[in-house]
Structure 1
Amino acid sequence: MTIAMLDPSKFVALVTGATAGMGEAIARRFVEAGGRVVATGRRADRLARLAGELGERLHPAELDVRDYAAAEALLASLPEPFRAINVVVANAGLALGLKPAHEADMEDWRRMIDTNVTGLVNTVRATLPGMVERGRGHVIAIGSIAGDYPYAGGNVYGGTKAFAKQFCLALRSDLVGTSVRVTNIEPGMTETEFSLVRFKGDEARAASVYEGAEVMSGADVAEMAFWCASLPEHVSVARLQATPTDQAFARPEMMRRKAGG
């Protein structure tokens, strides 16, 4: 029996955090498959470059997901071809610092909560009514295996990803009967700007996180998001958890290093 996947040319996706890493890769994947993408982020110059490269099927929009009013205003101002959003990829998020809880910077904690929790909630609440009204849609949150598997220094970051997991499960309960799907994609180690941001620009320390192991890329996660969105509408992936083959859980030291065996 052949599975009839959804036609990607019908996708109108909103992708947050599309200026780099997973978000940029996800935006590329949907556009290159023939869909339309509203690509958001705080770095307007990067969005402009992406739009210049991908063309008219990508609409760049500067947005700080922590600002709910700005999210609502953005949706109200979208050009007609981008208004009927049917895929929302809530990707914007970050980790800051790796200190134990009793030494952590409170400002880092606040920023992670504001972006990873409030930003996710804002994105979903702003876009969900339209999808419910149209009777079609898909919310995809980019979580992390850190929501299941804690590691030293991952305190608040892991907590925000545990929130994403539980929030998505609760959304599924609320949305039964609406034909709107919800998926939490939970990647393991993925080489993007993640560690560079976590270590506040320390390139050497960021690079050391991935030494000796073949980790995932933003394109790998983009393929997961695209596959989940492309499945027939009666199929809904609740959680997709994926790690590099050489990683078992969240802590980097639990990886089997290719260099050392």
Structure 2
Amino acid sequence: MDRTLLVTGATAGFGAAIVERFVTAGWRAIATGRRADRLQALVDRHGADRIHAAAFDIRDLDAMQAALAAIPAPFRDIDLLVNNAGLALGTAPAQSSDLGQWRQMIDTNVTALVAMTHHLLPALIARRGAIVNIGSIAGLYAYPGGNVYGATKAFVDQFSLNLRSDLHGTGVRVTVVEPGLAETEFTLVRTGGDRAASDTLYAGTQPITAADIAEQVWWVANLPPHLNLNRLELMPVSQSLAGLQIHRGTTP
């Protein structure tokens, strides 16, 4: 039986890798994102019968509704929603941060995620499907400059657990995948395209790759239907918890 997934933020990084992993294994995929050329490249590589591209800004809820209404019939029976679209902007402490960047993170990482989920819940319940939300260890462990990004990912974690509670008895599974240090376009976006900052962050490490995350999502999606993995937290071996900060000086 053909199965179909919808992946948000499928133009690069985790999202593109997840689409590739599932489609090469025989699934159909609805790939969404802002960059139509990158989505088209996925279609060109695998065929329009395997991938449906839906290009829109996920923060535009009207565009989201229109794109979902226009999904062709062969792709409408969605078995898996992967809420991957998200971003971090800025590394400054809260008192020096840009409110506009905070609002963009909330609109993308929280508002758009819940809107997409709410829209697809009836179909997922009908199919006894699954939801995988891509969170972050930033939602579990605070760090300087994490402020609103970490808070949005904490929301994703708690929303996922509450979805599990509300969906009790429907057969729908919900998992939040929370990666640590991963090398994608993430840091370039966060720093406004600062390649040196990105290279410095990953220098000498062996970070998580997009393919690593795609493999974990594939594993979660193919667990026996009576099993639910609530939370999957991943770090590269080169990363571990750093402990608490201690300020030494005359201020309290």
The number of aligned residues is 242
By how many angstroms is 1:207 displaced?
1.3
Identity %: 54
Match of 1:208 among 176, 193, 200: 200
Native 8 Å contact 1:14 1:87 kept in 2: yes
- Counterpart mapping for 1:185-196 below 5 A: 185-196=177-188
By how many angstroms is 1:72 displaced?
2.5
Q: Which runs of 4+ in 1 moved over 6 A?
A: none
Matched with 1:231 is: 223
By how many angstroms is 1:48 displaced?
0.6
Match of 2:84 among 88, 91, 104: 91
The answer to whether the aligner puts 1:161 opposite 2:153 as a matched pair is yes
The answer to whether the aligner puts 1:240 opposite 2:232 as a matched pair is yes
Native 8 Å contact 1:188 1:250 kept in 2: no
By how many angstroms is 1:74 displaced?
2.0
| CA RMSD in angstroms, aligned pairs only | 1.3
Runs of 5+ unmatched residues, structure 2:
244-252
Distance (whole Å) between structure 1 residues aligned to residue 112 and residue 202 of structure 2: 28
- Counterpart mapping for 1:9-158 below 5 A: 10-55=2-47, 56-132=49-125, 134-158=126-150
Native 8 Å contact 1:143 1:185 kept in 2: yes
Native 8 Å contact 1:93 1:115 kept in 2: yes
The TM-score with structure 2 as length reference comes to 0.93
Native 8 Å contact 1:151 1:250 kept in 2: no
Matched with 2:249 is: none
The TM-score with structure 1 as length reference comes to 0.90
Runs of 5+ unmatched residues, structure 1:
1-8, 252-261
Distance (whole Å) between structure 2 residues aligned to residue 185 and residue 169 of structure 1: 12
By how many angstroms is 1:135 displaced?
4.2
Distance (whole Å) between structure 1 residues aligned to residue 61 and residue 122 of structure 2: 14
Deviations, residues 19-77 of structure 1 (Å, cap 9, x unaligned): 00000000001101100000000000111111101223011111222223322222221
By how many angstroms is 1:102 displaced?
0.2
Native 8 Å contact 2:78 2:127 kept in 1: no
